[in-house]
Amino acid sequence: MGDPSATIEAMLVDCNDPDNPTPGMLPAIFRDIVGRLDAAGLAYAVLGHIALALHEQARFVGEIEIVADLDGDGCERAGELLRMTRARFAAFTEPELCRRPIGLMIRPCTGATEARLLEDAICRPWFGVPARLASAEHLLWLWCRSDNHTHRVDAAALIAGGTVDLYRVQRLLRETDDTDEAGQTRLRLAIGGAVLSTTYSFSRFMAERRARLDPNRIPVWRQPPDHPSDADTP
């Protein structure tokens, strides 16, 4: 498997406007904010599509989402880091200066489960710098607890890819789910979607393979025309 971060970089091209430099600046902005977090000694984990690419297929990214340990004066420090990075790359992050700015967000971790998210983050070279990316289990856990339903395909693909420990996700949800078990319900729906998509793809593949291997199969274009019925015979 190739470097998913390199694949993301290859996608950072504005097809409608190839001369637009904004999407291609995402790796530089990522390196800047990660370097500032490391220098400040703040524990963090990268979320969103950037982290998802480590566990599933890479896709276009328009924002950088980070969760960090911001106890004490951490919020002020993180705010200052954001201001410094945004000031350096204002031409690519400010709505007033570009058409589709790159999003940049740092939020504090909440609760013991998100604290473990930081501890379990996976260290990888990403966009040319060492970075800490959220695990597949924590990404799926966050998705199950989110009210945003726009990433169902990501969840199903993540499960179908076989890189996530579903038992661990269930344990995380039991620790944090509310009384109506909305997270458990979303997880079951995502598992069902993954199973259906995988089964359909496999069944279609086998049907096409059987058709190609059938020695008696005659292509439609080589089949003789139907004989006219008696009613059509003059």
Q: Which residue has the higher pLDDT, 199 or 71?
A: 71
**Whether residue 155 sits in one domain with residue 110:** no
Q: Which helix (H) or strand (E) holds 141?
A: helix 136-144
Domain boundary among 134, 150, 173: 134
For residues 94 and 4, membership in a common domain is answered with yes
pLDDT at 195 over 70: yes
- Report the C-alpha gap between 74 and 68 in whole angstroms: 9
For 128-177, the pLDDT digits (tens) are 999 999 999 999 999 888 876 556 567 888 888 778 888 899 889 988 87
Q: Within the chain, what is the greatest distance between any pair of CA atoms?
A: 97
Within this chain, do residues 181 and 123 fall inside the same structural domain, yes or no? no
**What is each CA distance from 160 to 133, 168, 199, 202, 209, in whole angstroms?**
20, 16, 10, 12, 22
pLDDT exceeds 70 at position 212: no
* Rounded Cα–Cα distance for residues 224 and 221 (Å): 8
Residue 90 lies in a domain: yes
Q: Give the global pTM.
A: 0.79
Domain membership of residue 227 (yes or no) is: no
Do 28 and 130 lie in a common domain?
yes
Co-location of 37 and 116 in the same domain: yes
- What is the residue range of 177's domain? 135-215
Query: What average pLDDT score do residues 89-103 get?
Result: 92
Q: Is residue 68, in this structure, part of any structural domain at all?
A: yes
* Within-domain flag for 225: no
The reply to whether 129 and 62 lie within a common domain is yes
Nearest to 12 by CA among 84, 63, 66: 63
- Pick 60 or 217 by higher pLDDT: 60
pLDDT given at position 234 = 47
**233: pLDDT strictly greater than 70:** no
Average of per-residue pLDDT across 21-50:
94
Does residue 18 fall inside a structural domain? Answer: yes
Do residue 60 and residue 71 come from a single domain?
A: yes
* Residue 20 belongs to some domain of the structure: yes
Who's near 24: CB < 8 A, 6+ residues apart?
A: 9, 12, 13
Residue after which a domain boundary falls, among 109, 134, 159: 134
Residue 233 in any domain: the answer is no
pLDDT value at residue 45: 96
DSSP state of 78: H
> pLDDT tens digit string along 176-190?
876 668 888 888 888
In this structure, of 40-44, 74-78, 153-157, 166-170, the range with the lowest mean pLDDT score is: 153-157
Give the residue, 136 or 228, on which the prediction is more confident: 136
Average confidence score pLDDT of the chain: 83
In this structure, the answer to whether residues 149 and 122 fall within a common structural domain is: no
Q: How many domains does the chain have?
A: 2
